[in-house]
Amino acid sequence: MKKKIKYEDEKIGKIEILEDFLPKPEELVFKEETVTVKLKLSRSSVEFFKRIADKHGSNYQQIIKTLLDKYSSQYNKQ
């Protein structure tokens, strides 16, 4: 069982007010230009990505896209 926190009426130390440094909500939306492609994959590969997606609450197509993006960016550096 967790020990209950007991709050007391104590002085607070020196307070420093920080500037708002968080981005605006619209700056958090990351839109990337995409292209639709038709691709045939082996059943076992698709089942693999679907299992991973289910395990992590994601979409298997997004996982495949992320994998391809990381792969291409790695070799695009050379």
pLDDT tens digit at each of 78 positions of the chain: 678 888 788 888 888 888 887 878 777 777 788 899 999 999 999 999 999 999 999 999 999 999 998 899 888 876
- In sequence order, what are the residues at sequence separation of 6 or more whose Cβ sits closer than 8 angstroms to the Cβ of residue 32? none
Kindly state whether residue 5 falls inside one of the protein's structural domains. Answer: no
Cα–Cα separations (whole angstroms), residue 40 to 18, 43, 44: 53, 9, 12
The amino acid at 77: K
Kindly state whether residue 22 falls inside one of the protein's structural domains. Answer: no
**Host domain of residue 72:** 40-78
Kindly state whether residue 46 falls inside one of the protein's structural domains. Answer: yes
Q: How many CA atoms lie within 13 A of 71 on its CB side?
A: 6
Q: What is the pTM of this model?
A: 0.59
Kindly state whether residue 54 falls inside one of the protein's structural domains. Answer: yes
Number of domains in the chain: 1
Kindly state whether residue 15 falls inside one of the protein's structural domains. Answer: no
Kindly state whether residue 21 falls inside one of the protein's structural domains. Answer: no
